[in-house]
Amino acid sequence: MRRKTKQIFVGNVGIGGDSSISIQTMANSSTEDIGKTINQIREAEEAGCDLIRVSCPTRESTVALREIVKNVRMPIIADIHFNYKRAIEAIDAGACCIRINPGNVDMFAINEIVKAAKYNNVAIRIGVNSGSIEKDILDKYGEPTVEAIVESAVLNCKKLEDLDFVNFKISVKSSDVKTTISAYRQLSSKVNYPLHLGVTEAGTFFPGAIKSAIGIGSLLADGIGDTIRVSLSSNIVDEIKVGKQILKSLSLLKNSVDIISCPTCSRTLIDVIGIAKELEAFCESIKKSLKISVLGCVVNGIGEAMNSDIGIFGFKKGIAKIYVNGAEYCTVREYEVLNTVKELIQNQ
Ligand code: SF4
């Protein structure tokens, strides 16, 4: 069961409480390049992203942010390190949330950011990262252990609470999957603020997707987590696709099509791999909650078809049976499967 946290809002996107688990990514264009950043944000939205973060390292970037905000619908989170003035400028430019890294800002800066956030009803993310923990905490533990990460997070929650500010979420990311899982588990037993999940610097597409699925997926399966970001050295659309698949795998993504398909073997009677891949591409933009099964033969085919909204399985060589809502619908030749099923999806 999902652990219920305090609900906050980043723009119109609820995080925590009863809100569905949102997907975030981060633009990797230069924020000063307004056109490119707007295109990236629109592309992310098209792919199913709910929130996007942009870096604001310079005065020019926060000036550009004002134009970017005017031209996109998705709420923007400004990523701030070192100079608190960028946070104040970003809030003024229309950012809906400010990500601060406690290791990179002092108390004076936090105070100034909180004042501006309160005045403008803007949320904050306390983004603790194993690579940039405060020096005194790191000195105490010697290395970025789970305890060090969690201590930093709890300490920074307290700093914001002392400023009478609770409109925030927290992340405790590590590039090590086991450390990430343990840190979030410990933190979730100590605080009730919404948690932003992610395995930081997870790597390139294939290893990064697997590390993220294990890290984020284990926590979500425990009921921990309110918003997720998959961090890949890859295209940002890949991050969103992986994030969506993680949520889908745990039945946490509404209005999405889940396709199950068998690994194929010598009994396979139809082109399972080709059919499954084509349906996957076709269903990318379908906003319906559907389960579709594609199996090579009757061994598991009938059972899975009966438990799917649309079930396809090899019946004879080159011939498939299609089930709809658990009942036999038709028998078709292999080459007719895709058109028949696409029509069924559209009519469901
Ligand atoms: S469902 Fe049939 S074809 Fe697919 S792996 Fe199982 S036995 Fe093989």
Instruction: Please check whether residue 288 lies inside any domain of the structure.
Output: yes
| 100 lies in the same domain as 170 | yes
Q: Which domain holds residue 190?
A: 8-249
- CATH number of the CATH domain containing 307: 3.30.413.10
Please tell me the distance between residue 271's alpha carbon and the centre of ligand 1 in angstroms: 12
311 CB near ligand 1 (under 6 Å): no
Q: So what's the pLDDT on residue 130?
A: 85
> How would DSSP label each residue in 113-154?
HHHHHHHHT-EEEEEEEGGG--HHHHHHHSS--HHHHHHHHH
Asked if residue 82 lies in contact with residue 104, where contact means CB atoms within 8 angstroms, the answer is yes
105, pLDDT greater than 90: no
What are residue 166's DSSP bridge partners?
none
Q: How confident is the model at residue 166 (pLDDT cuts 50, 70, 90)?
A: very high
Query: Amino acid letter at 21?
Result: I
Candidates 260, 261, 267, 294: which one to mutate for ligand 1, based on the most atoms within 8 Å of Cβ?
Answer: 267
- pLDDT top residue among 1 and 166: 166
Q: Give me 336's structure tokens.
A: 């007719």
Domain count, the chain: 2
Q: 89: closest CA among 57, 128, 51?
A: 57
Contacts of 122 (CB under 8 A, 6+ apart): 91, 95, 96, 97, 98, 116, 167
Q: So what's the pLDDT on residue 247?
A: 97
267 CB near ligand 1 (under 6 Å): yes
The pTM of this model reads: 0.92
65-82: per-residue pLDDT in tens? 999 999 999 999 999 988
Let me know the angle formed at the C-alpha of 120 by 115 and 122, rounded to the nearest 5 degrees. Answer: 85
Asked if residue 98 lies in contact with residue 90, where contact means CB atoms within 8 angstroms, the answer is yes
Report the chain's mean pLDDT, rounded to a whole number.
Answer: 95
249 CB near ligand 1 (under 6 Å): no
| 102 lies in the same domain as 52 | yes
Asked if residue 32 lies in contact with residue 40, where contact means CB atoms within 8 angstroms, the answer is no
Kindly report the protein residue whose alpha carbon is nearest to atom 5 of ligand 1. 264
For residues 201-215, average pLDDT: 97
> How would DSSP label each residue in 75-109?
-EEEEE-S-HHHHHHHHHHT-SEEEE-GGG--HHH
Measured CA to CA in angstroms, residue 132 lies from 81, 101, 148, 331 at distances of 11, 8, 11, 60
32, pLDDT greater than 90: yes
Asked if residue 290 lies in contact with residue 307, where contact means CB atoms within 8 angstroms, the answer is no
Q: So what's the pLDDT on residue 68?
A: 98
Neighbours of 223 (CB within 10 A): 11
Domain end, chosen from 202, 224, 249, is at 249
Atom of ligand 1 nearest to the CA of 297: 2
153, pLDDT greater than 90: yes
- pLDDT top residue among 106 and 342: 342
Q: So what's the pLDDT on residue 37?
A: 98
Q: How confident is the model at residue 348 (pLDDT cuts 50, 70, 90)?
A: confident
Atom of ligand 1 nearest to the CA of 296: 3
- pLDDT top residue among 263 and 82: 263
Please tell me the distance between residue 269's alpha carbon and the centre of ligand 1 in angstroms: 9
300 CB near ligand 1 (under 6 Å): yes
Q: So what's the pLDDT on residue 180?
A: 96
296 CB near ligand 1 (under 6 Å): yes
Q: Give me 283's structure tokens.
A: 């269903």
| 133 lies in the same domain as 238 | yes
Instruction: Please check whether residue 79 lies inside any domain of the structure.
Output: yes
Query: Amino acid letter at 1?
Result: M
50, pLDDT greater than 80: yes
**CA-CA-CA-CA torsion sign (250, 200, 205, 73):** positive
103, pLDDT greater than 80: no
| 190 lies in the same domain as 105 | yes
299 CB near ligand 1 (under 6 Å): yes
Instruction: Please check whether residue 3 lies inside any domain of the structure.
Output: no
Q: Give me 295's structure tokens.
A: 């199996």
| Sheet containing strand 327-333, strands side by side | 257-261, 290-295, 310-316, 319-324, 327-333
Contacts of 183 (CB under 8 A, 6+ apart): 146, 149, 150, 153, 172, 174
Q: So what's the pLDDT on residue 147?
A: 95
Q: So what's the pLDDT on residue 77?
A: 98
Q: So what's the pLDDT on residue 289?
A: 93
| 306 lies in the same domain as 194 | no
For residues 326-338, average pLDDT: 97
Atom of ligand 1 nearest to the CA of 298: 2
Atom of ligand 1 nearest to the CA of 301: 1
273-286: per-residue pLDDT in tens? 999 999 999 998 89
> How would DSSP label each residue in 60-75?
HHHHHHHHHHHT-SS-
102, pLDDT greater than 90: no
120-139: per-residue pLDDT in tens? 999 999 999 888 888 899 99
